Structure 1
Amino acid sequence: MADPYSILGVSKGADEKAIKSAYRKLAKELHPDRNQDNPKAAERFAEVTHAYDLLSDPQKRGQYDRGEIDENGQPRSPFGAGFGGGSPFSAGGQRPGQGGFEFGGGIDLGDIFDGLFGGGAGARPGGPRPQPGPPPKGANIAYEHLVAFTDAAKLEPQRITLRDGKTVEFKLPAGAVSGQQIRIPGKGAAGPGGNGDAMVTLKIGKHPFYERDGDNIRLELPISLKEAIKGAKVKVPTIDGAVMLSVPAGAQSGTTMRIKGRGFAKKGGERGDQLVTLHIRLPSDMAALATLAEALPDEPGIRSDLGV
């Protein structure tokens, strides 16, 4: 066997910490559980462990440094040959690959291997090999799906066509938003451990006159000047159908009214509201409007809040 310092890649003056660190690194690379198809790695593993066995024992290391024992831990003969010699790879009477690795000297490798390969007994020399994991599933397949604004609000069931031409139905989550991903299990690519999943990225469509505001829906509602002055019951569209809204007399443009429960579905089963903002639209008959304007009083302080 070669010089144990050379085997571990450390200098003769290396301290215990450096020797242990060098051994941990090599043991991690060469451990039989990670090199089942490489017998040379197993031999090398035995060699570095034997070297660590010698150098980690202060008494043995001192004897070796003084030339009293050789690389195999055997007393040196005055004629340069060891007594009994023995293979550096068969301490304890075993060869690598035959029933695991056993090393003389009573060295405790527990502190070396604990945590090196996950901690358990399967990580130590001669221990049971870790069981192989389950076969991998197939890859996930990504899709994009456009959801109609009203469908998203009411959580209408959706259908998507998969890569293989088949269609599948899925449910929308409460509060669904653009960019959110839905997982459809088992609808991805095939694999030895089963199919992967379909990963559907949602895109919520726009609406001609509704606008989303969190869980609420906003609507700008035009009303006539007469409706604003006298008050009226007006028909208002919602995603669930038209409803009647009472506009109070003297309503101002920009006034926002609330219709409960006509917004987006929330987590827990409730729904947001529809927020209706009134916008007064002047009549198109300019002559009638001019006559009305003459009858109305001036309001000189109408912009006083603006400081003008």
Structure 2
Amino acid sequence: MSDDPYKVLGVSKAATQDEIKKAYRKLAKRLHPDLHPGDPKKKAEFQEVSSAYDLLGDAEKRRRFDAGEIDAKGHERPERNFYHQYTDQQGGRRYDPNEGMENHEGFSDLFSDLFGQRTRAGQGGPRQGFHARGTDLRYHLDVDFMDAAKGAKQQVTMPDGNRIEVSIPAGLKDRQTLRLRGKGSPGFGGGPPGDALVTVTVRPHPVFTRVGDDVEIELPITFDEAILGAKVDVPILTGTVSMTIPKGASSGRRLRLKGKGLSRENGSTGDQIVRLKIVLPEKVDDEMAQLAQEWRDHVKLDPREVLRGML
């Protein structure tokens, strides 16, 4: 991967978050593997673009990269790691891996236990062994839209080089955090290990857009399909289905496919929204122009009448 994610996305360092997102979506639509099956070069380019967006699309990660705290892959720079893990809480600690998580042993309690044991030992009492739960570790995982929609298994590389398998549940949301019990740092003195907290970024898809538990697509249709109605094939998350375009359909009209959306935690499923878009040929011949003129002379329609009435 390039050391400069800004160059990969083709944006300047002064670009806004919206500009970064637009640049990524434009590249993703051109390079997505679904559009180039069997092309390893396009797949590699898509992965590089996705990695760059994973870094710059997150405002906090972008800030840390610009400050030199993490590298282009999102890894802590060695010279910074000690500070982030051990700097004093009262001095403005910002990167506590356990901040806000349950089962966190506070430093005051930990030192209290240690000194209490030493005192008892110094007084001749029985010496008690110290043990504590291991710290939780945070990771990031970049997930394809379809994997998040349908469920999948993916691997994460641990700091020690070991790889663990993560089960992606169907319907996983962007920025959702998965907890892997016992996959964090080892405990102390025989204490239990911490957990691994994996925050997921779901890459945008060139066709499907998530809206809550529904998915939405824009479906191009021809002028005659809009006027006369038609049966057309519509892509869904699991393949294609046949859908009826009603007569007289206008651009922007939204049709609903029940139960073709994303899985919910309660076991139900969202819907798919199909937004129609009438597409005309780039070149209009004389016959089409004559037909349009006859239409204009025959149909007295003012589509902007309602708009003017709202002004």
Shorter-chain TM-score: what band?
0.5 to 0.7
Matched, 1:171 2:167: yes
- Cα distance in 1 for residues equivalent to 2:171 and 2:240: 23
* More deviation, 263-272/158-167: 158-167
Aligned pairs (5 A) from 1:1-20? none
Distance 1:258 1:149, change over 3 A: same
1:153-178, CA deviations, whole angstroms, 9 ceiling, x for partnerless residues?
11223332222333222333464222
| Structure 2 counterpart of 1:302 | 303
Aligned pairs (5 A) from 1:147-166? 147-166=143-162
Distance 1:257 1:300, change over 3 A: closer
Task: Give % identity.
Answer: 39
Secondary structure at 1:237 match in 2: strand
- Cα distance in 1 for residues equivalent to 2:213 and 2:159: 33
CA contact (8 A) 1:283 1:289 kept: no
1:104-136, CA deviations, whole angstroms, 9 ceiling, x for partnerless residues?
xxxxxxxxxxxxxxxxxxxxxxxxx9x969711
CA contact (8 A) 1:174 1:267 kept: no
- Cα distance in 1 for residues equivalent to 2:171 and 2:186: 32
- Cα distance in 2 for residues equivalent to 1:248 and 1:303: 22
Secondary structure at 2:231 match in 1: strand
State the 1:230 CA deviation: 1.3
| Structure 2 counterpart of 1:289 | 288
Q: How many residues are aligned here? A: 191
1:69-95, CA deviations, whole angstroms, 9 ceiling, x for partnerless residues?
xxxxxxxxxxxxxxxxxxxxxxxxxxx
| Structure 2 counterpart of 1:182 | 178
CA contact (8 A) 1:155 1:172 kept: yes
The code of the aligned residue for 2:231 comes to K
Secondary structure at 2:288 match in 1: helix
Distance 1:223 1:36, change over 3 A: closer
Distance 1:205 1:281, change over 3 A: same
| Structure 2 counterpart of 1:277 | 275
CA contact (8 A) 1:229 1:250 kept: yes
| Structure 2 counterpart of 1:139 | 135
CA contact (8 A) 2:171 2:264 kept: yes
* More deviation, 156-165/248-257: 156-165
Distance 1:135 1:221, change over 3 A: same
* More deviation, 233-242/291-300: 291-300
TM-score, structure 1 as length reference: 0.55
- Cα distance in 2 for residues equivalent to 1:283 and 1:226: 12
TM-score, structure 2 as length reference: 0.54
- Cα distance in 2 for residues equivalent to 1:276 and 1:136: 54
Distance 1:294 1:212, change over 3 A: same
Secondary structure at 1:199 match in 2: strand
State the 1:201 CA deviation: 0.7
Matched, 1:226 2:224: yes
- Cα distance in 2 for residues equivalent to 1:256 and 1:138: 52
State the 1:304 CA deviation: 1.8
The runs of 4+ residues in structure 1 deviating greater than 6 Å are: 131-134
The code of the aligned residue for 1:223 comes to I
- Cα distance in 2 for residues equivalent to 1:270 and 1:304: 42
